[in-house]
Structure 1
């Protein structure tokens, strides 16, 4: 009798175990089937996971935005996969036809959408900050008055100054939505450090610079003087020779920079005679800081100027310049390009 009872109980337990196992198998295959189904989207969509979001919050928002069906199953699917705590914050671009499995993998892999911002050669720090602060995917705008040396690790030999003009490399930077403006500034400054150090180590001999920072100042002037890449070494050669001969640089962009917001698009003689720290018609040598953001080509030109004897140049009005060895030749070129044969569409490279 006891033996019969034990056999009956063991048989019942086996059946129960088999039913449980069958249920688990069915559940597992059910989850696999669910993972291979396409999410119910009629078109592409954007979705943001905020830093600190739990799986539950993500599922709630996915459901509210009608990006998934059966939210409970999606949550179980993520937990069975063991990735409930591995979702990465960021903005995601979800395309039509994505499956639940692919969506979860995207969140776990951090396959976030990237954006970009371009800092243009020749931009002042004010223009650069306007671009960064106005980007809809960057956060925590930085006011010019709040930008201090403490925000970046300054390059070697930078004087103790609150003017950080020119210390951010002109380039295109990619980033995730929600990135801080200060983070882009830090990357741009680090890129400048790297490029300047690299080019400084490959500089020509006997240049009149005391430090890489002085070469950066020169590069910023070159950047503002011409938009024609092939002219940069020639412009650099003129300025280098003028420094060596103790001649004033007499470059309009420095005057304009020194005037700040007072400059309204035209220069006159009183402006050229006004004493500011940046007016190279008045001061000797380089101005105290760069006057704009630069790229590698301008730095290369400043550190590898063209040989020759030219000491002057004047804008032809088409964006290029005429170079002269003597003042007499230069004066003739000035009369030609700015008076007797001045183009109706005359333009200077200075912006």
Structure 2
């Protein structure tokens, strides 16, 4: 009887020990971080062994063996690994960590883009935040299927992108990126009567965006953008070439030009608005929202010309007549010459 009691006590102790170990393996803290939380990224194609190795290399888990056991118990070890960006917290248990990774509940990435010149620049900027590489995204943006879905041409494709900050999942596909941009583009144009204002100007959203890109490169001063837009709209209505220096810079590709000369004005390109009347084939830059709205809410006036104001850095002198403009331009050229800008 006494022997049986001892055996029972030993088994009870062993069971208690196993239970204690099992409880700690599942529920005790096993995540140690230098801060309260940390983001980890699991690339597409990772296996369970890759995930475990990453957690070990980053010294995120204290005990690999208990993590492995809980991962097996919760069927994470044998399941398809969900890629993405995850936020984990200090002192988490194996159950909490495995539960998050198994669920696929990602923490989104803030993707910000502005001040870009071409679609390939946008691809590079977006990809810098995400898993997708820039070449893959660039090639997709240039693919006929993407252009058709967006309803745009290679020349107007930049107009799809409204500068802002967007939340995306780190492992988002190229198709989903395009769909998101189309949704955001349509949402932007549906607000504040933008579509109706564009129609009133007899311009498409792409044409408004294109004109806004010129306005953007002409002035950084928001208080002047509606007036500059008014100048260009007056010239469009009267069939006068826009004669916008930024379009010449874009056409030549000499983006560091400090002064546009006659040789640049003679550069043959459909983007050269000195040689070709009307708007260029597409935007020459990603305009800010203030420039887009500056076109839509342009300042009505009779100005047809403007040039930089040497007495007001970043400002411009506006004129309704060519003679007045020539006087303003001569004054500005003297200012350039005096500073050796040639």
Residue among 266, 274, 284 paired with 1:291 = 284
TM-score, normalization: structure 2? 0.75
Classify the secondary structure of the residue corresponding to 1:323.
Answer: strand
Q: CA deviation at 1:276?
A: 2.0
Paired residue for 1:36?
28
Q: Is the 8 A contact 1:155 1:193 kept in 2?
A: no
In 2, distance between residues paired with 1:122 and 1:53?
33
Q: Is the 8 A contact 2:156 2:283 kept in 1?
A: no
Paired residue for 1:273?
266
Paired residue for 1:337?
332
Return closer, same or farther for 1:345/1:176 CA change in 2, 3 Å cut-off. Answer: farther
Classify the secondary structure of the residue corresponding to 1:283.
Answer: coil
Q: CA deviation at 1:237?
A: 1.0
Matched, 1:120 2:111: no
Matched, 1:254 2:247: yes
Paired residue for 1:322?
317
In 2, distance between residues paired with 1:292 and 1:93?
36
RMSD value, Cα: 4.1
Farther-moved stretch of structure 1 (220-229 vs 68-77): 68-77
Q: Deviations over 1:64-86 (max 9, x none)?
A: 55433443432333455566648
Paired residue for 1:236?
229
Paired residue for 1:304?
297
Q: CA deviation at 1:233?
A: 1.5
Counting only pairs closer than 5 Å after superposition, residues 175-186 of structure 1 correspond to structure 2 as 175-179=168-172, 184=177
Q: Is the 8 A contact 2:31 2:61 kept in 1?
A: yes
Q: CA deviation at 1:253?
A: 1.4
Return closer, same or farther for 1:321/1:187 CA change in 2, 3 Å cut-off. Answer: farther
In 2, distance between residues paired with 1:28 and 1:87?
29
Residue among 51, 55, 59 paired with 1:62 = 55
Q: Is the 8 A contact 2:159 2:206 kept in 1?
A: no
In 2, distance between residues paired with 1:64 and 1:107?
17
Return closer, same or farther for 1:142/1:66 CA change in 2, 3 Å cut-off. Answer: closer
Return closer, same or farther for 1:207/1:79 CA change in 2, 3 Å cut-off. Answer: same
Return closer, same or farther for 1:301/1:81 CA change in 2, 3 Å cut-off. Answer: same
Return closer, same or farther for 1:212/1:27 CA change in 2, 3 Å cut-off. Answer: same
In 2, distance between residues paired with 1:107 and 1:145?
31
Structure 1 unaligned residues grouped into runs of 5+: 1-11, 347-351
Q: Deviations over 1:207-256 (max 9, x none)?
A: 242x3332222222222222222222111111111111221111111122
In 2, distance between residues paired with 1:179 and 1:137?
8
Residue among 197, 201, 204 paired with 2:195 = 201
Q: CA deviation at 1:203?
A: 0.7
In 2, distance between residues paired with 1:345 and 1:120?
32
In 2, distance between residues paired with 1:82 and 1:138?
26
Q: Deviations over 1:249-292 (max 9, x none)?
A: 11111122222359755421132133321211121211222222
- The structure number with the bigger radius of gyration is 1
Return closer, same or farther for 1:49/1:121 CA change in 2, 3 Å cut-off. Answer: closer
Q: Is the 8 A contact 1:217 1:289 kept in 2?
A: yes
In 2, distance between residues paired with 1:125 and 1:60?
37
Matched, 1:148 2:143: yes
Paired residue for 2:64?
71
Return closer, same or farther for 1:60/1:212 CA change in 2, 3 Å cut-off. Answer: closer
Q: Is the 8 A contact 1:122 1:223 kept in 2?
A: no
Paired residue for 1:7?
none
Paired residue for 1:90?
84
TM-score, normalization: structure 1? 0.74
